[in-house]
Structure 1
């Protein structure tokens, strides 16, 4: 039995992630207003490194759902900004581990606070049980297509 409760136009706009794009745009505006020269894409890489520093570029691809060329470009730009450094792996010369610098560590608290503010604004008026249901449904969609 099909469970297609969307009209085609609604489905495509749902799939494109209007909410995700709106959140990203809002957060980017907050970064810009705070004088941070950081894109949302760069911040997402830093976010995963703050959680687990020293990831390989492949690990960052997996964590951020980006391809290798995109991660390479992002890491290159973060390196130019002095926010990350590549360190060759001890066990495999083909692998570089990516580490945040002190400059990036200084950005963590400020950017995470801006991200929290943005999410609070985005979820304003949404009951917690709806947020939980939404997470559950989106996880199921992801798992179905993984």
Structure 2
């Protein structure tokens, strides 16, 4: 392990993650979308499985309750999701995509793909595969 903090795996992963999040946010804004990469994570979960409780949504994206509430509020304000009463649990709501929330997937996905293509430029595909395997192993080691 390097004695220079800037050369450690964790530091580099964090730096690249922040750069990627910032680039996605910038590209959304350039395209006219007032949405963040963090909000996108929630939308992706709902695009795969709509009608989740707020707690389920938080667990899926690895966020604490207060952060989830702020993200849900922001998405609801943008008319991308709505809270609906849970049919069997009066204490909770289901988070549900609106028509606009469903349709925006077709618009945001190409922006994310373009951003990832830019991030992956000049990196051979076989290196990306190995990199993803290494990241998955690090995640597995830590959980």
- Report if TM-score (shorter chain) is over 0.5: yes
CA distance in 1, matches of 2:115, 2:27: 8
2:91 paired with 1:94 = yes
Give the 4+ runs in structure 1 shifted more than 4 A.
none
CA distance in 1, matches of 2:70, 2:105: 21
1:17-60 deviation line (CA, Å, top 9, x unaligned): 11111111111111111111112211221121111111111221
Q: Secondary structure at the match of 2:95?
A: strand
Q: CA deviation at 1:14?
A: 2.3
**TM-score using structure 2 length:** 0.90
Uncovered stretches (5+) of structure 2, i.e. residues with no partner: none
Q: Secondary structure at the match of 2:83?
A: strand
Aligned to 2:137: 140
Uncovered stretches (5+) of structure 1, i.e. residues with no partner: none
Q: CA deviation at 1:8?
A: 4.3
**TM-score using structure 1 length:** 0.88
